[in-house]
Amino acid sequence: MKKQIPIPSIERLSSIYMMLEEMEAEGVEKVSSKEIAARIGAQSHNVRKDINYFGEIGNARAGYETKKLKAHLSAKLGFNKPKKACVVGIGRLGAAILFYNRLAARGFSVVAGFDSNVNKLETLQTEIPLFPAHEITEVVRRKGIELAALAVPAAAAQEAVAKLIEGGIKGIVNFTPFVIMPPQGVFIRNMDLVGEFRVLSALSNIIF
Amino acid sequence: MKKQIPIPSIERLSSIYMMLEEMEAEGVEKVSSKEIAARIGAQSHNVRKDINYFGEIGNARAGYETKKLKAHLSAKLGFNKPKKACVVGIGRLGAAILFYNRLAARGFSVVAGFDSNVNKLETLQTEIPLFPAHEITEVVRRKGIELAALAVPAAAAQEAVAKLIEGGIKGIVNFTPFVIMPPQGVFIRNMDLVGEFRVLSALSNIIF
DNA sequence: CGATGTGAAAGGTTTCACAGCT
DNA sequence: AGCTGTGAAACCTTTCACATCG
């Protein structure tokens, strides 16, 4: 299937969805494209176009109904059913992710952690089952895990990625600086802190 | 000053720079745009154009000299002088960043940590000086801190950002889901894990 | 020849402008 | 009047094609 919705739109739609969660919690019943745009830092045209990729849903007079729009996006974006996730590499960062409870609250249940250091697995106190790294493929496949946070040292990244992909992972958030070349159907989001710091440095160096 | 170099180019240039560090460590002396492109997952045209935003530097016959190109980019991107950074919010994630030694190895010295919980500051064992959150503005200004990693709970984000900006911060890596609207001259990079998981979910839901 | 550097074409995204609805 | 939905224009980025250089 070919790409129809631009990736920037998908990113904005995720933000919009988050906004709607907040607004629902605040008890807001109606919302306009302008209000959404102001909250997520975009243009109202943009918001309307993004929402419209999934068909008409708003009311010309009154904007969007918070609840209805949220349910609509949830269905279209696939946020309605909880997804299983795992953490690979239980160092400081990996542990922080493992215990990050906003994930579960937002529909991502972390059902496994992996580390190559077996001692570490034994000493950690957690409800989440932990496994040695060589079991990645098998566990991911057996549990039907779709998403992974990769927080291993750079040197271990390549092998871990190969195992995740072999197990049928669908998406990886990559905290390492290692560049992943995913096969068709596997998506990557890079979150390398040094890289981000460098982009910020370069921006303030070049633009000012 | 107006934008001349596209942001995607700046992002790629950061990757290229990282590649060059690796290659220099491996002892590679010459490199072509094709080789760089293959490593960072881009097109060779793209790499050449990116590099050329900073003027001619390659040899038509032999490609680029690793060392020379690296020094060139380093100067243009502002990676040659170390920059000071701080971490705001010393929870699990904040602590992981505080102790992440690849930062220092890449020219970012973390010179301060902040948290609103004063007890926490006292119990943490670290060489890096820690301060209560209400001192953010003063410390950032006094030490000349340019970059911040924001790892506070969402509810505390707004106030922390205001203090950082008042202190003269130039860039923020935002780990919270809070949307930051920066003033002119302050740059933001968002790294919200839930947001990234959602984008991945949406991608595999929509594209397949 | 095999590589860079670069104007021109293609492709994709954002912005604009306004028709249409309530 | 105020808002959505949407074709068209403007803008930006990537890709192409090739002149040029050692």
pLDDT over 90 at B2, yes or no: no
The separation, in Å, between residue A198 CA and nucleotide C6 C1' comes to 28
Within 8 A by CB and 6+ apart from A117, the residues are: none
Residue A207, chain B, CB below 8 Å: the answer is yes
Protein-contacted positions of strand D (CB under 7 Å): 1-7, 12-17, 20-22
Q: How far apart are CA B164 and CA B159, in angstroms?
A: 9
A49 touches strand D (CB under 7 A): yes
- Looking at residue A3, its pLDDT comes to 53
Cα separation, B153 vs B144, in Å, equals: 25
**Cα B72 from Cα B80, distance rounded (Å):** 10
Span B42-59, average pLDDT: 94
CA distance B74 to chain A (A): 9
Nearby residues of A19 by Cβ (< 8 Å), 6 or more positions away: A36, A39, A40
- B 108-147: CB under 8 A from A: 108, 146-147
pLDDT of residue B208: 72
Instruction: Give percent above pLDDT 70 in chain B.
Output: 99
How many contacts (CB atoms, under 8 Å) link A and B?
A: 195
* Range 78-107 of A in CB contact (< 8 A) with B: 78-79, 83, 85, 91-93, 95-97, 99-100, 102-103, 106
Work out the average pLDDT over B189-193.
97
- Cross-chain Cβ contact B78/A149 below 8 Å: no
pLDDT of residue A58: 85
**Closest by CA position to B186, among listed A202, A40, A200:** A200
> How confident is the model at residue A159, as a pLDDT?
98
Question: Confidence band (pLDDT; 50, 70, 90) for B3?
Answer: low
- Contact check, Cβ <8 Å, B195/A15: yes
Q: Is B45 on the interface with A (CB under 8 A)?
A: no
pLDDT at residue B23, as a whole number: 95
Q: Does the pLDDT value for residue B1 go beyond 80? A: no
Contact B201 A77 (CB under 8 A): yes
Contact present, A66 and A36 (Cβ < 8 Å): no
| B83 vs A76, A181, A201: nearest CB | A201
Q: Which of A92, A187, A199 sits opposite B10 (nearest CB)?
A: A199
Mean pLDDT of B30-56: 95
Q: How many CB atoms lie within 10 A of CB A109?
A: 12
Query: What Å value separates CA A82 and C1' D4?
Result: 32
CB contact at 8 A, A207 and A185:
no
- Please judge whether A194 and B106 are an interchain contact, meaning their C-beta atoms are less than 8 angstroms apart: yes
3 state SS of A70: helix
Q: What is the mean pLDDT of chain B?
A: 95
Query: Contacts of residue A41 in chain B, CB cutoff 8 Å?
Result: 179, 181
Return the pLDDT at A160. 98
pLDDT at A55: 87
pLDDT in tens, B137-147: 999 999 999 99
Q: Kindly list the averaged pLDDT for each block of 10 residues, start to end, along chain A of length 208.
A: 80 97 94 96 96 90 93 95 97 97 96 96 94 98 98 97 98 97 96 98 90
How confident is the model at residue A56, as a pLDDT? 83
E-strand ranges in chain B read 30-31, 64-65, 83-88, 108-115, 130-132, 147-150, 171-174, 187-190
